[in-house]
Amino acid sequence: MRVIFMGTPDFAVPTLNALVGAGHEVVLVVAQPDQPVGRGRVLTAPPVAARAGALGLPLAQPRALRSGPFPERFRGLGADVAVVLAYGRILPLPLLQAPRLGCVNVHASLLPRWRGAAPIQAALLAGDLETGVCTQQMEEGLDTGPVFLEARTALAPRETAGTLHDRLAAMSAEIAVQTLSELERRTPTPQGSDGVCWAPKIEKADGRVDWALPAEALDRRVRAMTPWPGGWTPLAKGPLRLARALPVEGAGAPGEVLSLDPLVVACGEGALALERVVPPGRKEMDGASFARGQRLTVGELLGGDAWRW
């Protein structure tokens, strides 16, 4: 097939690789524009754009989808289908209708559960037992289109957004290739109205730990926000990032230090053992080393004067 591929982050790269490997003619790769990255604000190509360059594929990084030269170029390619995965922008109707077979979206959840920008994190936050990937015929509504195929996977007990990201990226590549192989003979199934959930974009503030919540909920939040933005709690000089935490037995006021080695902090219900932490401006360390460096004592409250690093 003549395929337009639209994607931006590293999550989409395995699918681009798979489409090329399956013998499809990728007539155009579309990614978001280059962005300044790091302290030096160096203009950097997104992963999909970089991979397109390495594969020698034609690339577009339009700033406008409704005006300028891009819409005409898109429509003029005579593509059979556009495959869209984590592109990051909503496609206008003329683009959705331009390819002969329309646009197929690969989405990292089991629709209609977790429509939106952050389905991986949402599944972990909710404590879902399984998730997966699916392909849908795109329409003007966000993630509302009928579903072609889905693939399911159980969530591991200590799953993080990072580990789940990598597994679902590989699954997305497989299901995209399979969908295109069956596209002209498969009728997609409309999504039901039951079980619709929304997964909004993750912001840095979403990683903040509220010690009044149960330990199980905070454990899910830390894992859902790993690697970015990380579960964190404020200190005087910046956030203390919780790189790895584990629910344990314990009782006390929310935020109260119950133990120093291991470093255990009370929650609204139960407690969290802070196994690995990243203090502001420091490298990752174990919680006990942080407690020693801070000269903590049992009974202090996280966020109080003792937490001054």
124 falls within a domain: yes
Enumerate helices (H) and strands (E) in the chain, giving the number of each: 8, 17
- Burial of 215 (C-beta count, 10 Å sphere; 0-12/13-18/19+): buried
Do 214 and 193 have their domain in common?
no
308 falls within a domain: no
The per-residue pLDDT for 306 is: 44
**Listed residue (115, 133, 144, 218) closest to 178, CA to CA:** 133
The per-residue pLDDT for 153 is: 98
**HEC assignment per residue over 226-276:** CCCCCEEEEECCEEEEEEEEEEECCCCCCCEEEEECCEEEECCECEEEEEE
- Backbone conformation region of residue 122, classed left if phi is above 0, alpha if psi is from -120 to 50, else beta: alpha
The per-residue pLDDT for 280 is: 87
Q: What is the mean pLDDT of residues 242-271?
A: 97
pLDDT exceeds 80 at position 308? no
For 84-109, the pLDDT digits (tens) are 999 999 999 999 999 999 999 999 99
The per-residue pLDDT for 174 is: 98
302 falls within a domain: no
Residue reference for tokens 């959840």: 109
Query: Which of residues 137, 170, 199 is at a domain's end?
Result: 199
Q: What is the mean pLDDT of residues 237-265?
A: 95
Do 116 and 135 have their domain in common?
yes
DSSP state of 189: B
pLDDT exceeds 80 at position 189? yes
- For residues 298 and 140, what is the distance between their CA atoms, to the nearest angstrom? 56
Do 209 and 89 have their domain in common?
no
- Could you tell me the sign of the dihedral formed by the alpha carbons of 249, 254, 257, 263, in that order? positive
- For residues 183 and 217, what is the distance between their CA atoms, to the nearest angstrom? 41
22 falls within a domain: yes
Do 149 and 259 have their domain in common?
no
Domains in the chain: how many in total?
A: 2
Do 243 and 142 have their domain in common?
no
Confidence of residue 235 (pLDDT cuts 50, 70, 90): confident
118 falls within a domain: yes
Do 116 and 163 have their domain in common?
yes
Range of the domain at 143: 2-199
Do 75 and 176 have their domain in common?
yes
The per-residue pLDDT for 46 is: 98
75 falls within a domain: yes
- For residues 77 and 264, what is the distance between their CA atoms, to the nearest angstrom? 59
Query: Which of residues 173, 199, 225 is at a domain's end?
Result: 199
pLDDT exceeds 60 at position 179? yes
The per-residue pLDDT for 305 is: 47
Do 117 and 191 have their domain in common?
yes
Confidence of residue 41 (pLDDT cuts 50, 70, 90): confident
Q: Which of 16 and 307 is assigned the larger pLDDT? A: 16
Mean pLDDT score across all residues of the chain:
95
- For residues 107 and 127, what is the distance between their CA atoms, to the nearest angstrom? 19
Residue type, 12: A
Q: What is the CATH number of the domain that holds 247?
A: 3.10.25.10
The per-residue pLDDT for 149 is: 98
Percent of the chain with pLDDT over 90: 90
> Token pair of 89, please?
């922008």
11 falls within a domain: yes
303 falls within a domain: no
Q: What is the mean pLDDT of residues 70-85?
A: 97
For 111-120, the pLDDT digits (tens) are 999 999 999 9
pLDDT exceeds 50 at position 295? yes
DSSP state of 207: G
CA R_g for the chain: 23
Q: What is the CATH number of the domain that holds 39?
A: 3.40.50.170
pLDDT exceeds 90 at position 302? no
Q: Which of 96 and 295 is assigned the larger pLDDT? A: 96
The per-residue pLDDT for 33 is: 97
Do 68 and 147 have their domain in common?
yes
The per-residue pLDDT for 309 is: 44
Do 140 and 183 have their domain in common?
yes
Query: Which of residues 138, 169, 199 is at a domain's end?
Result: 199
pLDDT exceeds 80 at position 289? yes
Do 145 and 219 have their domain in common?
no
The per-residue pLDDT for 303 is: 65
Do 172 and 268 have their domain in common?
no
The per-residue pLDDT for 40 is: 83
Instruction: For residue 166, give the 3-state DSSP assignment.
Output: helix
